[in-house]
Amino acid sequence: MSDFIGDWQALLVLVLAGVLPNEVWRMLGLWLGGGIDEGSELLIWVRAVATAILAGVIAQILFLPPGALASVSPLLRYGSVAAGFAVFLVARRSIFAGVVAGEVVLLLGQLWWR
């Protein structure tokens, strides 16, 4: 079993240092934000900022790819983003469907391109 899971000490450190601190803030945010009106201007602004940050990160990864993604053809990277966006729109704005479609196009395209 240790070959499958690895060192239990590393998993314990991961849970204690990675998961628990994040969960505290998530639960606090859930508790504090439970009464906020979803149509309030503050929440609309927060959603817009979060969307802009996400778009910036995606653009940076797309145009200046890190690590192994740098070896993927730019045409394939842009095509997978376009395919993911098209599936997102066709699947009634399903983020999950768009991400899966983009990943499938990227992986299959990389396998085919070799």
Residue 8 has pLDDT above 80, yes or no: no
Q: What is the phi/psi pair of residue 93, to 5°?
A: 60, 45
pTM tops 0.75 = no
Whether 30 is in a domain gets the answer no
Is 46 part of a structural domain of the chain? no
Q: Give the ranges where the chain is alpha helix by DSSP (H).
A: 2-5, 8-14, 20-33, 41-63, 74-90, 95-113
Q: How far apart are CA 13 and CA 28, in angstroms?
A: 22
**Alpha-carbon radius of gyration of the chain:** 19
Q: How far apart are CA 101 and CA 96, in angstroms?
A: 9
pLDDT band at 17 (very low <50, low <70, confident <90, very high): confident
Residue 85 included in any domain: yes
95: containing domain: 72-113
Q: What is the pLDDT of residue 90?
A: 97
In a domain, 78, yes or no: yes
Q: How many CB atoms are closer than 10 A to CB 55?
A: 10
Domain count of the chain?
Answer: 1
With respect to residue 95, please indicate whether it lies within any of the assigned structural domains.
yes
Q: Does a structural domain hold residue 13?
A: no
Whether 87 maps to a domain, the answer reads: yes
Does any domain span residue 89?
yes
Using the predicted structure, report yes or no on whether residue 85 has a pLDDT greater than 90: yes
